[in-house]
Each structure stands twice: as C-alpha cells, then as structure tokens.
Structure 1
Amino acid sequence: MTDQTTTAARTLDLNGIKRRLPHRYPFLLVDRVVDYTPGESLQAVHNASASAWWVPGHFPGEAIMPGVLLVEALAQACGLLAFVTREAEPDAELPPEAPLFYLVGVDEARFKSPVVPGDAVSLAVELDRLVRGIWLFKARAEVNGRLAVSCGIRCTMRAS
C-alpha cells in the first residue's frame, strides 16, 4: 500500500514519498514517513547505509554522514510536510504536476553528534508559520534519542 491512513498514524512509503518529491537515488534522503499531521508536523526516517555513496570519502576509515546531507534530509522532510499540508487544504488546487518546494534558507544549524553508517536517523519537522509564501519550519534529526542536528528551514513553493 502506498499511502496509509490509520487512527494511529499517517504514513508514506517510498512510492508515496516519490510522488511528492522530485529527488531520486542517490539524493532522496527520506526512506519512510512514520507519521504526519498536515499543517503541523511530520516524522520520518533516513537509514544511513554502510553502502551510501559518501561513506568511502567522508572520512576514510571513520565514516560520518556529512552535515549538509543531514540538513538536506530535514529539508526534504519539510518539503513533504508542505506538500501534504497543501493536499489537505479543502480548496487547494494543486497543479497537474506536483509543485516543487525549494529550499531558500537554513537558520541556526547546530551539529551536536555524528551520524554513522548503520544509524536510523529520526527526522522531526514542525511547521512554524507561513509568511508571504515562505514556509518556516523547525527541524531536528536524532539517533536513538540523541540530537544530531537542529535547525530552522525555509522553503517556498513553485509550480513545476
């Protein structure tokens, strides 16, 4: 099943994610959406694989996931939240092709602990507000309850 809605959680599998985001391997960094509430929040997972393209070079012998990729994973989760929020609006007229949500800013990024191959990264994003077409989010990435990254994300929608 591509999209599931249950009383406990709204989820998206990889096919549901790919219908909403233009990213593809190796740059699609959201593996699964485990819960979301349109207009409020979204929780997702990125699995840092030992076979990921960045592992051999960052850093050889002691691989850590680049911070910029963690921020990108959070930005993709924000794009998904924006998309499902637009889908949920009763009078929303989405264009025939999915709109694109462009990253326009990252605020106060803080990197607290490394992410290594084998980690399941929990991505949590909240819609803070929408100001003149700019969507403002609060975002956090954690591994086993340990904060890896926190930041503010700004994006805007453009019809494709």
Structure 2
Amino acid sequence: MSDNDVTEMNSMDIYEVMKHLPHRYPFLLVDRVVDFKAGEYLKAIKNVTVNEPFFPGHFPHRPVFPGVLMLEAMAQASGILAFKTTESLPTDDSLFYFVGIDDARFKKPVEPGDQVVMEVTVLKRKRDMWKFSAVATVDGKVVCSAELMCAKKDIA
C-alpha cells in the first residue's frame, strides 16, 4: 500500500465520546468512535454485555438487546457526528434531540457478547435539522437500519 492509499482515521475514546454526548449510565450507548469525517459519516461501536441493566427483564431466560435501544444508540452516534460537524459540544443551553425515525427495520436479535458496529451517514441538513442513514451490524450482518432525524434545540 502506498502513502497515497492511506487515509487518516479519526477516532474517539470513551472520554471524547462523553464530551460530545450528554448521556450517562445507564443510557450512554456509544463506547467508541472508530472513524468519522465531519459532515459525512461516523462509525461507532457499542459492546453489549450481560451486565446491561435491562437484561433481567428483557428477557430473563434469553437476553435480547431492545430494538428501541439500538435505535437510540444509532441516534447518539448521529448526535456525535452533528456535534463534530458543527464543531460544538452539548451545553446546558443547547442539545441535539432525536426528533424522527423512518423505515426502521430489525433483522436479527442482538445478544450479550455482541459488538454492534453503527454507521451513520449525513443525508441532508437544513439549518438545525439533520437527516441520517443509520445501519447497525454484528459480525458484518445487518441487525438494524433506519433513517434518523435530529434537531438542535436551544433550551434556555
């Protein structure tokens, strides 16, 4: 591979992720960003462990990661991309809110031990409204996909 073939990877550890999301335990659902390009795409991971707080009730004899939380994890990844693109951070006065979802599909259950890879791509942006394509995979197989919308809202 020549130097021209090498692309710079942008990644974020959990501490950088926490700077770009207001969520905390038990609702922080992005463990790491493995690559992104501001204004275009972001690839993140969520490691699913048997210690997740919802597994005792979903389901006691066969734990399954709730689909709505997969969508939330993808929305969080979208929020990080929006913050990175606008070169801003969440504040007490302004956040990106998850405001819409279209064409959500669940293809395969996610279980403890799985690593969910989420890829979000900016489809369109109009002022403070964003639309993303989001796909989550485990071992290269699609487990969830959707189009997600978020909007920046001033709280003050």
Residue 67 to residue 96, structure 1, CA distance change in 2 (3 Å): closer
Provide the residue aligned with 2:80 in structure 1: 80
CA deviations 1:115-157 (Å, max 9, x no partner) are 0001000000000011243100000000001100000000001
Cα distance in 2 between the residues matched to 1:97 and 1:65: 29
Provide the residue aligned with 1:129 in structure 2: 124
Cα distance in 1 between the residues matched to 2:24 and 2:9: 25
Provide the residue aligned with 1:90 in structure 2: none
Specify the code of the residue in structure 2 equivalent to 1:142.
Answer: T
Specify the code of the residue in structure 2 equivalent to 1:8.
Answer: E
Q: Which runs of 5+ in 1 are unaligned?
A: 1-5, 88-93
Moved beyond 4 Å, runs of 4+ = none
1:48 lines up with 2:42 in the alignment: no
Residue 96 to residue 48, structure 1, CA distance change in 2 (3 Å): closer
Alignment of 1:29-68 (within 5 A): 29-68=29-68
Is residue 17–residue 80 contact of structure 1 (8 Å, CA) maintained in 2? Answer: yes
Deviation, structure 1 residue 96: 9.0
Cα distance in 1 between the residues matched to 2:115 and 2:89: 34
Residue 95 to residue 127, structure 1, CA distance change in 2 (3 Å): closer
CA deviations 1:58-107 (Å, max 9, x no partner) are 111111100000000000000000000001xxxxxx58937411000011
- Percent sequence identity is 46
Residue 19 of structure 1: SS of its match in structure 2? helix
Provide the residue aligned with 1:91 in structure 2: none
Provide the residue aligned with 1:15 in structure 2: 15
Residue 130 to residue 114, structure 1, CA distance change in 2 (3 Å): same
Residue 16 of structure 1: SS of its match in structure 2? helix
Is residue 142–residue 149 contact of structure 1 (8 Å, CA) maintained in 2? Answer: yes
TM-score normalized with structure 2 length: 0.90
Q: Which runs of 5+ in 2 are unaligned?
A: 1-5
Alignment of 1:69-148 (within 5 A): 69-87=69-87, 94=88, 97=91, 99-148=94-143
Residue 59 of structure 1: SS of its match in structure 2? coil
Residue 71 to residue 96, structure 1, CA distance change in 2 (3 Å): closer
Q: Which moved more, 1:39-48 or 1:130-139?
A: 130-139
RMSD: 1.8
Paired residues, what number? 149
Deviation, structure 1 residue 7: 5.2
